[in-house]
Amino acid sequence: MKRVTKEHLSRFRQDVAKTSGEITHLCIKAAQEEPLLAGTPVPTYKTCGKPNCKCQQGGEFRHGPYLAVQIRQDGKQRNLTLKKSEAHFFEMAKEYQSQMQNRQRIIEKQQQLLEKVDKMIEARTIWDKK
């Protein structure tokens, strides 16, 4: 017969509480009021086309950085170059990416929580009906 100690149960409860708290914290971050822009913020550099301009050398001599956001529209990837007055869209896209990373962390934490619960159930099971 398997025996689970009080210390083992206490540690399990503490681990579950900690992981649940982390999940809750990440979920609360998703409930902010600011709108998001589903895209990837990308600073871009461009050449102007003037034959004598330094930007024709490429690399560090190109003009920019200009703020742009890569979005998906009608199944195609599009680059939207933003005006200076539209810089808030760049920030919205950065926040969107942050939220997507938080979502991935939530998935990982949920998986950890399920693994802990499975281990505890296995440790407490006295008869396995295989």
| 39 is a domain residue | yes
| 31 is a domain residue | yes
pLDDT reading at 77 higher than 60: yes
| 116 is a domain residue | yes
Instruction: Tell me the per-residue pLDDT of 24-69, one tens digit each, with 9 for 90 and over.
Output: 999 999 998 899 999 999 999 888 889 889 988 878 889 988 999 9
Which structural domain range is residue 69 located in?
Answer: 6-124
Three-state secondary structure along 21-73? Answer: HHHHHHHHHCCCCCCCCCCEEEEEEECCCCCCCHHHHCHHHCEEEEEEEEEEE
| 103 is a domain residue | yes
| 129 is a domain residue | no
| 1 is a domain residue | no
| 35 is a domain residue | yes
Which single residue is written with the structure tokens 């930007």? 55
> Number of structural domains, the chain?
1
DSSP symbol at 129: -
pTM of the model: 0.78
Summarize the confidence of residues 113-123 as an average pLDDT.
90
Quick one: pLDDT at residue 59?
Answer: 80
